[in-house]
Structure formats: C-alpha cells, structure tokens
Chains A and B, each alone.
Chain A
Amino acid sequence: MAVQEQVAPVARAEAGSQERRPFEWGTVGRYVAVAVVLIFALFPFYWTLITSIKQDVEINSSPPTLIPHTFTFNNYVNAFLSVQPAFAKDLLNSTIVAIVTTILALLFGSICAYAIARTKFLGKSAVLAIILSVQMFPLIALVGPLYVFFTDIGAYNTYVALIIPYLVIALPVTVYFLTSFFRDLPPDLEEAALVDGTTRLGALWRIVLPLTAPGVFTTAILSFITVWNDFLFGLTMTADSTAQTVTVAIPLFNGQHQIAFGEVSAAAIIVTIPLVIAVLFLQRRIVSGLTAGAVKG
C-alpha cells in the first residue's frame, strides 16, 4: 500500500507536467458541464419547493428571491382546505387505484415474466413484442371505445374504469422489469427444488420471488409510479372526486382568474415527493432494470 501511494503521485506529476494544459482544460470543462447539468436538473424542483413555503407577498415580489426570506406552511394547509377541497379525496383515489393495479399487475406479470425468463415456448418473442409494443402504444386510441364501454356498463366514474386501463400500462413495465430481475437469478436453486418434486409455480413462489424480493419491490414501486403518473385515463374515465385521480386535480389548481402559486407548488410537492424519495432510494436497481433490455437486446 505504502509503495503504491508513493509511486502514484510521482507518475501523476510526470504526466501532468507533460500535458498540463489539455488536462486542466478538460477538468474545467467537465466541472462547468457538471454544474450546468446539476442546475438544470435540480432548479425546477428547488424552485417549486421554496415557492411552496414562501408567503404570498414574497412570491409576487420582483425580482424573485432565490433563498426564501419568509416561511409559511399555509400553502400546504390551503391546498387541502380552500383551493381544491377534493384534493385529499383525489390523493386517496390515486393511492387505492395504484395499489390495486400494482397488486394485480404483479400477480399476472410475475407468472408471465417467469415463463419468459425460464421456459422456452413457441411464440415467446411474439409475446414479448406484443407486451413491449403496448408500452409504446398511443393510449388516446383506447380512450374512445373504453369510455363508450364503461358508460354502457355503468362503470364510468368508478375505480373499475381506471384499474382496467391501468393494467395495460402497468403490465408491460412489470413484465419487463421482472423478466430482467428473474434472468439475473442463477437457476441452480430452482433446479434443485424441481428435482425434489416442487412444481414450477411452487418454485416461483417459494424460491424465485423471495430471492428476487428487492427486484420485485422495485418493480412494484415502478408500477405504482406509472399508474400514479397517468393523467389521460383519470381525466376521461372520471367525472368527479368519486374516482378522480390526483393528477387530474393538479391542473384544476390553476383557477380561471389567477394562479395560486403557493398552493399549486405545495400540491406539486405533495404529489411528487414520495416518488422522488422512492426513485432515489431504489436508483441502482431502477437503472439496472431499465438498461438491461437495451444492452442485452
């Protein structure tokens, strides 16, 4: 160790003296680029956060203040109470619908992903192609017929009218990520269990799912986020807060006459913070699952 530490600085100093200029320019350029990226990525989030805790007078002051001078929690209280009374109910609707959809998507998606990851069958690539193409589908094309159908059967403006189309957007995500996590698991343990007479579904339930639990959890969170982020079906399949989702409530904060900056910002933070925390917490797995397909083809 000591030898290495001694040698390294000498070697670096030599390299530095030989090509000092380009080396330094590269470093400066890189840190300028890093600063630009960080500011562009984080500023809108930071701005929304501080707007949500500023008092109205400061929000309306010019020039805008980069560091809040005033502090209030009223915007959060008002977001629930006065500006958009249905906000709390809409949050509840979104939560219920996203959880139910995620459970169903995991149920159907895990067995489908298991078949894709571990078995061979004719038409597997066709199944994968269908599932992936649904992910890129123009969803507006489903809205008309589903609206007519749900109105006919009396399901319009209920959770059912949301959960059914949401399954179509959650299932591709679920199958895609679970397949990638299942493939990463060495098949030895399952093979041993199968030799011992466990059924394939038994092996999935008792061995594969527990061993890929972090991946399954990540998939569940991504499915939840996908459903939570939907706006189109929430807008078209509901009429009022019986089933209306929270993303539909957000644009309603922008009233006809005047935008309630503080309250809109507070609502935006409430709707987004859980997702930001979940994504940051699970970033490593999300990135590996997201990119597995692109690299492995």
Chain B
Amino acid sequence: MATTTQTASVPTPKQSLRERLDLGNGVFPYFLVAPTIIIIAAVAVYPIIDSIRLSLLTNPLVPTGNTFAGLNSYIQAIGDPEFQGSISTTFIFSIVSVAAETVIGFALALLMNQTFRGRGLVRTAILIPFAFPTIVSSTIWLLMFNAQNGVMTYLMQVFHLLAPGDTLLRTTNGIIAAAVIIDVWKTTPFMALLILAGLQVIPKELYEAAGVDGSNRWQQFWTITLPMLRGALLIALMFRLLDALRAFDLFYVLTGGGRQVETMATYAYANMFQSPPLDFPTGVAATIILFIICAIVSSIIVTFSRINQ
C-alpha cells in the first residue's frame, strides 16, 4: 500500500510523446466511445430493465393490460413442467456440446500445431462450417437426418446404429443428440482456433527444459500445456457456454418450430409469440430467468479465472 502511494505521488520526470498523447486525452475518448455505449445502453441494457417491468404485468400487449400482477408470471413459468423440461434440455445440451467441443477442439488444435503436409488444408476446411449460418447448418443436417432419404439416417442404419426405418429425430434424446452433433460441427473450429493460438505462444524452451528433466509427452501436457492455456481456454469456454445456453435457431429448426423439445429460449419464444397474449409475460419472465442464469455462469467463470492464477 505504502509503495503504491509513493509511486503515485512522485511525478514521472520525463514523458515520451506517446505517453503524453495517451494520458493527455481529457474527455475526448469519452466522446469517441459514447455512441457505442449509448446504443448498447438503449438497445440492450434498457430493454432488460423494461423486461422486468413487462414480466410483472398481466397483459402488456393490450393498452388495458397494464395491471400489476406481481411475480405471477415467474411463478407460472417455474411451475410449468415444460419450462422445467426446457431448463434441463438447455443444460444437458450446453454441457455435452461444450464438453465435446473442448475435447475435440483441443485434439484438433494439437493436430494443427504440428507441421505436416496438408496442414493448411485442414485449417481451411474447418473454417467452412464456421461460415454457415446456424439456421442453414441446422436445416441441411435436418435433411441428412430425415427419415425417408436422409444420408445420415441411411448410414446409421447401415452401421446398425439405428433400426431400419427409424430416425434419430424420433425421440427427445435423439433430437438433443442431433443438436449436439450439429453444434459440434459448426463451432468446434472456433474452439480449435482459439486453443491453437494459445498453443503457439507457449515458449518452446519450456518443453525443452521438461525434456531434459525426463518427463514424457503426457506429463508435459498436464504440467505445461494445460496450465499455460488456462486463459485462452477459459475465454473460449465462456463464449461457447453462453452461446449454448441461449440456443434457439438449432432447436427451432429440428422441431420444425414445434414444441416437443424446448430450450429456455424457444420456450420463451413460444410463450411470447405462439400462445395466447396472456402467456406473453410468462415468456418474458423466462427470458429474465435465462439472463440471470447466464450472468451467474459468466461470473463463475470470471471468478474461476482470477483465483489461483
């Protein structure tokens, strides 16, 4: 503490031009960031607050509906078995897909970190799924999983993974499995590229020193690679987990806009737009609950990344 006060009180004797430019900006930087911050405040932060207001009304869609209903819509949502189901679907999908993406992404990054013929080709090829809009990737996989002439259905039947005439999309678990496969296809490249970038900045000397010490590749992975990748890995995990928790497009397509398998986001949508107007606040309440879950998950990851660095 004492040292900090000392350093602060002593004026820096000589400043370079760069330092003076950086520090002497006054209020100017605030004008530069203002438009972006104002837009985000108006279109992202304010609606969240407005959501809380809407979720407390009986029927916000009609002018006479502005009667205060208290926490009624939250009680309705939480008591709704469909909403409970959507929470478990969302969590199962998020955990399984992100875990699979992390493991496969890690393997892919380790592969691409080696030098071999065709490395550039692998790098280019994995960017193709990345370019697909989720709605399109879900749709083309839906065709491939189709019961009559889907190529994946055909292959799974040939390899006896499915009974003849069966389809993966017949059951709830099958639809979740399909969603995981599609999500892994589309977003593992993101994971792999972030992990690869992290791998490439690990100093080679660390491995050389470990090699002298006589530790094997497996030990090096646990003692050098994994700890050094912690930062990059946590960022990638946070992005992917929060993206999976809000999954909407994928399940909308796989269920044909129906409601047999719901995530929290599709449950909210169905209540807001496909149900009687009185269900609108229930849908809004569901989005608030999803928002809170996302906030909790991200703060857990942020806390985790700060402790025992």
Chain A positions near chain B (C-beta within 8 angstroms): 27, 30, 33-34, 37-38, 40-42, 44-45, 47-48, 51, 59-64, 108-109, 111-112, 114-116, 118-121, 124, 127, 130-131, 133-149, 164-165, 167-168, 171, 175, 187, 191, 194-195, 200, 225, 228-229, 231-232, 235-236, 247, 250-251, 253-254, 259, 261, 264-265, 268, 271-272, 275-276, 278-280, 283, 286-287, 290-291, 293-295, 297
User: Which of chain B's residues have a CB closer than 8 A to the CB of A136?
Assistant: 238-239, 242-243, 294, 298
Query: Across the interface, do A131 and B272 meet the contact criterion of CB distance under 8 Å?
Result: no
Query: Across the interface, do B54 and A145 meet the contact criterion of CB distance under 8 Å?
Result: yes
Determine whether B15 belongs to the interface, using a CB cutoff of 8 Å to chain A: no
Chain B positions near chain A (C-beta within 8 angstroms): 17-18, 21-23, 25, 28-30, 32-33, 35-37, 39-40, 43-44, 46-48, 50-51, 54, 60-61, 107-108, 111, 114, 116, 118, 121-137, 139-144, 146, 148-149, 151, 154, 185, 189-190, 193-194, 196-198, 201, 231-232, 235-236, 238-239, 242-243, 245-246, 248-249, 252-253, 256-257, 265, 268-269, 272-273, 280, 283-284, 287-288, 290-291, 294, 298
Could you say which of A115, A142, A144 contacts B33, with CB atoms under 8 Å apart? A115
A194 to B133, CA, bound (A): 43
Task: State the main secondary structure of chain B at its contact with A.
Answer: helix
Query: Across the interface, do A37 and B125 meet the contact criterion of CB distance under 8 Å?
Result: yes
A235 to B17, CA, bound (A): 52
Query: Across the interface, do B272 and A143 meet the contact criterion of CB distance under 8 Å?
Result: yes
A124 to B47, CA, bound (A): 24
User: Which of chain B's residues have a CB closer than 8 A to the CB of A121?
Assistant: 25, 29-30
Query: Across the interface, do B139 and A140 meet the contact criterion of CB distance under 8 Å?
Result: no
Residue in chain A with minimal CB distance to B110: A33
Query: Across the interface, do B54 and A148 meet the contact criterion of CB distance under 8 Å?
Result: yes
A268 to B123, CA, bound (A): 23
Could you say which of B25, B142, B201, B291 contacts A120, with CB atoms under 8 Å apart? B25
A275 to B287, CA, bound (A): 31
Query: Across the interface, do A147 and B194 meet the contact criterion of CB distance under 8 Å?
Result: no
Could you say which of B124, B131, B144, B238 contacts A47, with CB atoms under 8 Å apart? B144
A121 to B121, CA, bound (A): 43
Query: Across the interface, do B130 and A47 meet the contact criterion of CB distance under 8 Å?
Result: no
Query: Across the interface, do B149 and A64 meet the contact criterion of CB distance under 8 Å?
Result: yes
A236 to B37, CA, bound (A): 25
Query: Across the interface, do A280 and B25 meet the contact criterion of CB distance under 8 Å?
Result: no
A200 to B35, CA, bound (A): 17
Shortest distance in angstroms between B284's beta carbon and chain A's nearest beta carbon?
Answer: 4
**Residues A109 and B28 in contact in the complex (CB < 8 Å), given A37-B125, A138-B294, A195-B17:** no
Could you say which of A140, A231, A254 contacts B246, with CB atoms under 8 Å apart? A140
A254 to B123, CA, bound (A): 33
Query: Across the interface, do B29 and A171 meet the contact criterion of CB distance under 8 Å?
Result: no
A191 to B201, CA, bound (A): 30
Query: Across the interface, do A30 and B116 meet the contact criterion of CB distance under 8 Å?
Result: yes
User: Which of chain A's residues have a CB closer than 8 A to the CB of B239?
Assistant: 135-136
Query: Across the interface, do A34 and B232 meet the contact criterion of CB distance under 8 Å?
Result: no
User: Which of chain A's residues have a CB closer than 8 A to the CB of B122?
Assistant: 34, 37-38
Shortest distance in angstroms between A128's beta carbon and chain B's nearest beta carbon?
Answer: 10
Query: Across the interface, do A62 and B154 meet the contact criterion of CB distance under 8 Å?
Result: yes
